[in-house]
Structure 1
Amino acid sequence: MSVKNPVETLLQWAKEKPNQGWLFQPVNGVWKKYTWAECEAQVRSMATALRNLGLPAGAAIAISGRNTAHWFLADMAIAMAGYVSVGLYPKQAPDAVKYILNHCEAKAIFIGPMPDVDEFMGCLPQGIITIAFPYPDVPKCDHNWDDLVRASEPFAGYQPPDPKQMVSLIYTSGTTGNPKGVIITGENLTFATQGLLKAMPAIGQERFFSYLPLAHAFERGAVELASIYLGGEVWFLENLDKLAEQLKEVAPTRFYGVPLVYSRIQAGVLKKMPQEKLDRLLRIPLLSSLIKKKIRKAIGLQNARYLFVGAAPMPVPLMEWFAKLGITILQGYGMTENNIYATASLPGANRLGAVGRAMPGADMRLSEEGEIQFKHPGVTLGYYKDKDKTDELFTADGWLRTGDKGRIDEDGYLYITGRVKDIFKTLKGKYVAPAPIEGALSRNTDIDQLCFVGAGLKQPIMIVTLSANGLAKPRADVEKGLIADMEAVNATLEPHEQIAKIVVAKDAWTIDNGVMTPTMKVKRNEVEKRYLPLLEKHANDYKTKVVWE
């Protein structure tokens, strides 16, 4: 029996539980509920409206703005009408916006609430049709969502397309060069989502909190599509300033984050209860379980049965810190090109430092060089309009090359040991893999972000930014901790790999200042370029162990 696609599943829930809430959208702090039946009606009418715009069959239609109920509805309407959806990040660089919309030849775009909206509107190609989502601060467009829905008859006679047909383009926010359009078929989506739900089945009514960018394959699959297949609720974050407040309010049953989100949650807890006091209270048997319960509730994670971290390695000490509070964080691994369907740690099968075992139906192997490779029905057909890059993506026998290096232990757990391309050579002619060394030093809670560089240097140097915890401390205390941890890490390394010194950067690394991708990955080449003069100045000073920018 073939698996229903997301549109068919939405129509099924609208029949089976029409009055139950699916999407919960906050506007000025007030939650608006959209039931399955209301969502179906809006999707059907918008699908008709899109057809009435006279767009060619299979045309690309973009969706922009932060996560909202209408992002989901637009995605489903595009699919129902037989078009191809293209998500854009709310904080996408102007050059990337122009490139993506021109590359996919987008004929229309949904405009949602976002920062720097005027700059974004200035990037749109001539002739593209704009449709405004019904939220405050969305600029005037050619059409308005509510007007189009009111004026259009519900779409009738929906016919599911061939599962092998392209339904979406997901542009990777690569750390170098132009974004690449990853082709996503209906089969890719259903295979990955069904496998995810097989590995992590529902337990009662599921409640999701949507705040990671929907332009990313992970949020789309693990929240939007998973919520459709599970019939779960989705509550949206209103804006980033309200993350702590609304996470507590929503208290989801599944929560996903990048390491930076979890380190910010940790910083929030330690701000209210310093580590020494927390350790003291956790040592008291009668108080310990009460304190843990209170903290979990204060964060909003008391109901979370599945807590995942992805996009970048999470420091083991940070995972251990949460574990002491009774919060098990599971690390997963995947990439847009395999629909984020690769490996995951699961409850009862979690190994710290590993990214889990292969997901159901996901064949995994290591090449002779240690590159991690995959083969399964969730893997993309390739990059849109780019045969050369597509050819590079696959091995001669059709396996997806991830570009990541790893090792697999005797129980099948995968450990990421670095990027094939991130390995650099120092002036001594020796190769260094930065990822494990960065992971080892990130035990220091005064560090927020870090990047190990060494190309063109005699000895590698670690560049770090400070966490809220580090910024609040006297400089001498921070230095003392950094030197102690650096020496402890160096004791485990080969001489050519050892950290020569730590450079403390003055400014945080953000998407806005171009040092991070929209998926919160540090752009290594950008860090090297930005701090090169500082590195050259201090490279030959072997006495100073910590340098402040």
Structure 2
Amino acid sequence: MTTRNPVEMLLHWEQERPTQPWLFQPLHGEWQGITWGQAADQVRRIASALKARYAPGTAIAISGRNTAHWFMADLAIAMAGCISVGLYPKQSTDAVKYILNHCEAKALFVGPSMDLEEFLGAVPAGIDRISFPYPDVPKGDLAWDELVKSHEPMNGYAAPDPKELWTLIYTSGTTGNPKGVMITGENLSFAAGGLMKAMPAQGQERFFSYLPLAHAFERGALEVASIYFGAEVYFLEHIEKLAEQLKEVAPTRFFGVPLVYGRIQTGVLKKMPQQKLDRLLKIPVISGIVKRKIKQGAGLQNARYLFVGAAPMPIPLLNWFQKLGITVLQGYGMTENNIYATANLPGANRIGSVGRPMPGANMKLSEEGEILFQHPGVMAGYYKEPEKTRETFTADGYLRTGDKGKVDADGYLYITGRVKDIFKTLKGKYVAPGPIEGAMARNTDIDQMCFVGTGLKQPIMVVTLLPEAWKKPREEVGKQLVADMEEVNKTLEPHEEIAKILVVKEAWTIDNNMMTPTMKVKRNMVEERYMPLIQKEAETRSKLAWEA
């Protein structure tokens, strides 16, 4: 496995491929290429500027949507001996204030983002603002281009001790304040080395970066991986262009969360209803043509690896893609183990599982079934949180994931629920909501769902619908929801059965605080917001209810 850190890898490509494009930044619909040599030159100059202003170990934050400058700023911060801290584009103002104060950030790179004025209003006084060179970014105390012009490239980079802090990745937890996960150089190089061993490069790799870089999944699978693989990276210009630019880029590896794959499915079914698709897939020659057209239409025709992470992907959705000849590989990881845990791989994929342990991942289950890990990629701890750090590790040094699981005879891991998400109904019985939500995802009208049961005799499934579902006759949608619920209930214990489907009107989004920046439903917010309605509906016998 590699021992080079990301900065050393950048300098390696600067020598090996100085004129080869690495980063492709879209501006007004045109891709602007930045070579390895150009990127390294800018990184060196920004590192010189940072080193002249801030002491080693200083926290420096990066904000805005994914851009080439996000990558370069992250590397420049590391090269200067400082600590990078990523902020989500749609982070709540309270979280922005907390994170910047908690890490004692002295500077902030400001990138393009929606609601930028609101975001900047949450930045504490005394933090230098360094503006990225984009038209919609207001000029800060310092400007990227001006710093590049006014500083000589930093030379003589000496790699720090691998065990020194490299970056802080703040979790977007569904409750409480974010925790700063301490990731070291050793954590990054170990995970990168294992990734290269398990999923080696095949020719010139091409990535598409659109998931938040503040999250460990995109940071590791895209940014860090591109530096080690020497892969090209194309950045999404705007969320509304996702389908268009994904098709244009046609990456060799595609990484998504379940919600993104669900949107791809919706896009396909909008053009070709499920019944027609099923009919065409049964015709031998036509089937192959349809599959190719769908792949090309989605921009997935070149993807040798299609991964889903950050949250469990429903088995019905995995099977739907498989029928189209599109194998979506489910993996598992968390910020605290640097997203280095388990993965399904081509030729070694078991649908429903999250795969087998990655090289050197060292996984085991506790007596209670909690999944535990111990390897060089596991975090150094939570920043300024020694007590929480101690609670997160076992006496023999294994990381507690908080997830419960089981392992089959071939070593494939299955997630059976969250230790903390398990709730108890009034009958005194425990219910794990995750697998039941996953089974209910067979219904293609559902957008998001949350299974609740605390304080109830029998659990209720709260759901939101996709925009297309609201255009259908309510009776038709309701009939299918109840039919799917009854099918799921046949597989459950009596105390686990879904008593009712409750359809609520408003979509759950990051903006209305019903989802985290990584697009996970905030279970506590669902319970808080809808509990009066849930309790009211729990007293009626109907199998389906609609929010008035």
TM-score, length basis structure 2:
0.99
CA RMSD of aligned residues (A): 0.9
SS in 2 for 1:323: helix
Confirm or deny that 1:12 pairs with 2:12.
yes
Mapped contact 2:3–2:186 kept (Cα < 8 A) = no
SS in 2 for 1:402: strand
SS in 2 for 1:157: coil
Q: CA deviation at 1:383?
A: 0.3
Q: CA deviation at 1:57?
A: 1.6
Mapped contact 1:61–1:83 kept (Cα < 8 A) = yes
Q: How does 1:218-257 map to 2 (within 5 A)?
A: 218-257=217-256
Mapped contact 1:342–1:362 kept (Cα < 8 A) = yes
Mapped contact 2:336–2:379 kept (Cα < 8 A) = yes
Counterpart CA distance in 2 for 1:206 and 1:369 is 41
State the partner residue of 1:168: 167
Counterpart CA distance in 2 for 1:338 and 1:472 is 43
Q: CA deviation at 1:548?
A: 3.5
Counterpart CA distance in 2 for 1:266 and 1:177 is 34
State the partner residue of 1:96: 95
| Unaligned ranges ≥5, structure 2 | none
Counterpart CA distance in 2 for 1:526 and 1:543 is 25
SS in 2 for 1:23: strand
Mapped contact 1:483–1:546 kept (Cα < 8 A) = no
Counterpart CA distance in 2 for 1:366 and 1:196 is 23
Mapped contact 1:445–1:469 kept (Cα < 8 A) = no
Counterpart CA distance in 1 for 2:2 and 2:171 is 30
1:145-200: per-residue Cα shift (whole Å, max 9, x none)? 00110000000111000000001000000000000000000000000111112111
1:391-417: per-residue Cα shift (whole Å, max 9, x none)? 110001110000000000010000000
Amino acid at match of 2:126: G
Counterpart CA distance in 2 for 1:544 and 1:11 is 62
State the partner residue of 1:48: 48
State the partner residue of 1:148: 147
Confirm or deny that 1:542 pairs with 2:541.
yes
Q: CA deviation at 1:547?
A: 3.1
Counterpart CA distance in 2 for 1:62 and 1:448 is 33
Amino acid at match of 2:102: H
SS in 2 for 1:249: helix
State the partner residue of 2:306: 307
Confirm or deny that 1:81 pairs with 2:80.
yes
State the partner residue of 1:38: 38
SS in 2 for 1:135: coil
Counterpart CA distance in 1 for 2:328 and 2:56 is 44
Counterpart CA distance in 2 for 1:312 and 1:458 is 28
Confirm or deny that 1:287 pairs with 2:286.
yes
State the partner residue of 2:208: 209
Amino acid at match of 1:256: F
Counterpart CA distance in 2 for 1:510 and 1:52 is 41
State the partner residue of 2:28: 28
Q: CA deviation at 1:361?
A: 0.2
Amino acid at match of 1:353: G
Mapped contact 1:27–1:238 kept (Cα < 8 A) = yes
Mapped contact 1:62–1:109 kept (Cα < 8 A) = yes
1:281-330: per-residue Cα shift (whole Å, max 9, x none)? 11111211011101100100000000000111111111111111111000
Q: How does 1:349-364 map to 2 (within 5 A)?
A: 349-364=348-363
Counterpart CA distance in 1 for 2:542 and 2:329 is 40
Amino acid at match of 1:146: D
Mapped contact 1:174–1:517 kept (Cα < 8 A) = yes
Mapped contact 1:64–1:111 kept (Cα < 8 A) = yes
Q: CA deviation at 1:224?
A: 0.6
Mapped contact 2:344–2:355 kept (Cα < 8 A) = yes
1:347-399: per-residue Cα shift (whole Å, max 9, x none)? 00000100000000000111111100000000011100011100110001110
Counterpart CA distance in 2 for 1:201 and 1:125 is 43
Q: CA deviation at 1:108?
A: 0.4
Amino acid at match of 2:114: P
SS in 2 for 1:528: helix
Amino acid at match of 2:188: L
SS in 1 for 2:146: helix
Confirm or deny that 1:516 pairs with 2:515.
yes
SS in 2 for 1:57: coil
Q: CA deviation at 1:544?
A: 4.3
State the partner residue of 2:431: 432
TM-score, length basis structure 1:
0.99
Mapped contact 2:501–2:543 kept (Cα < 8 A) = no
Counterpart CA distance in 1 for 2:360 and 2:285 is 45
Q: CA deviation at 1:2?
A: 6.2
Mapped contact 1:267–1:468 kept (Cα < 8 A) = no
Counterpart CA distance in 1 for 2:139 and 2:334 is 36
SS in 2 for 1:372: strand
Q: How does 1:384-533 map to 2 (within 5 A)?
A: 384-533=383-532
Confirm or deny that 1:321 pairs with 2:324.
no
Q: CA deviation at 1:500?
A: 0.7
Counterpart CA distance in 2 for 1:385 and 1:5 is 25
Counterpart CA distance in 2 for 1:294 and 1:368 is 49
